[in-house]
């Protein structure tokens, strides 16, 4: 089955039924059997749970490009973690970033405080938009237990922001216990800030210590940056 045939909703549903029977490793291996590597987009935030996907890819498809959106507002510990995992797994990391002028604008207005959705859009969503149009499948390491929104997602789902682009979540049905077991069994290193009480890590201005994703966006009734929902109101 070629990728073009997967774009109809009913066929995506059929693929979900087939892939739900597979393990995460089998899902990734099967994906690369039906989709050429050059049509698969991989991104990583190098956050708390990122090592799981990166470890799988290092064994299944070593050398594939891994895009990292450098908002220039990351914790130093996140950049250290990126360097650590890149060396450990032999990753081919490619950075994507907004302009320096945009960073200056965000800093001068403290946009993360006044209009956090705009800040996320300009620094995370917009830099990736041109890349998304060059690919057919976008692999994400998101897991359903991370929040209520993600818990409703399937292995495959269309990304409404780009026609014909499919999001692929090989770990979406993993429980937290399964994630912990995999990490411990494979001796995957934790993010340095996890050891300090951070359950999720994003940009420095909008992240605080808390369990799970409760520390993101400092209780601004915001749970996603907009990368993984396909729509984000710019306000």
The residues assigned a catalytic role are 225
The Cα 219–Cα 229 span in angstroms is 19
**Cβ atoms of 30 and 19 closer than 8 Å:** yes
Tokens of 82: 């990126």
Task: Report how far residue 93's alpha carbon sits from residue 186's, in angstroms, rounded to the nearest whole number.
Answer: 22
Question: Is 201 exposed, middle or buried, given 0-12, 13-18 or 19+ CB atoms closer than 10 A?
Answer: buried
Are the CB atoms for 225 and 202 separated by under 8 Å? yes
CB atoms closer than 10 angstroms to residue 127: 20
Is the distance from CB of 156 to CB of 15 less than 8 angstroms?
Answer: yes
Task: Name the residue with tokens 């049509």.
Answer: 39
Q: How far apart are CA 196 and CA 182, in angstroms?
A: 21
Using an 8 Å Cβ cutoff, are 141 and 188 in contact? no
The tokens describing 103, both together, are 């960073």
């Amino acid at each position: 089955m070629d990728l073009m045939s997967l774009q109809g909703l009913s066929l995506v549903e059929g693929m979900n039924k087939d892939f739900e029977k597979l393990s995460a490793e089998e899902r990734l291996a099967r994906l690369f059997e039906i989709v050429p590597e050059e049509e698969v987009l991989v991104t990583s935030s190098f956050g708390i749970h990122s090592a799981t996907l990166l470890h799988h890819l290092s064994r299944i498809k070593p050398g594939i490009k891994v895009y990292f959106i450098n908002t220039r507002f990351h914790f130093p510990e996140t950049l250290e973690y990126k360097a650590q995992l890149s060396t450990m797994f032999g990753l081919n990391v490619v950075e994507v970033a907004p302009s320096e002028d945009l960073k200056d604008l965000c800093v001068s207005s403290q946009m993360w405080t006044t209009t956090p959705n705009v800040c996320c859009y300009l620094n995370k969503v917009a830099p990736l938009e041109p890349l998304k149009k060059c690919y057919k499948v976008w692999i994400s390491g998101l897991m359903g237990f991370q929040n209520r929104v993600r818990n409703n997602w399937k292995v495959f789902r269309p990304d409404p922001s780009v026609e014909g682009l499919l999001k692929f979540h090989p770990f979406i049905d993993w429980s937290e216990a399964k994630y912990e077991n995999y990490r411990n069994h494979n001796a995957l290193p934790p993010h340095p800030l996890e050891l300090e009480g951070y359950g999720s890590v994003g940009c420095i201005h909008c992240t605080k210590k808390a369990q799970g994703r409760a520390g993101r966006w400092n209780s601004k009734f915001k749970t996603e940056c907009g990368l993984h929902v396909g729509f984000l109101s710019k306000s």
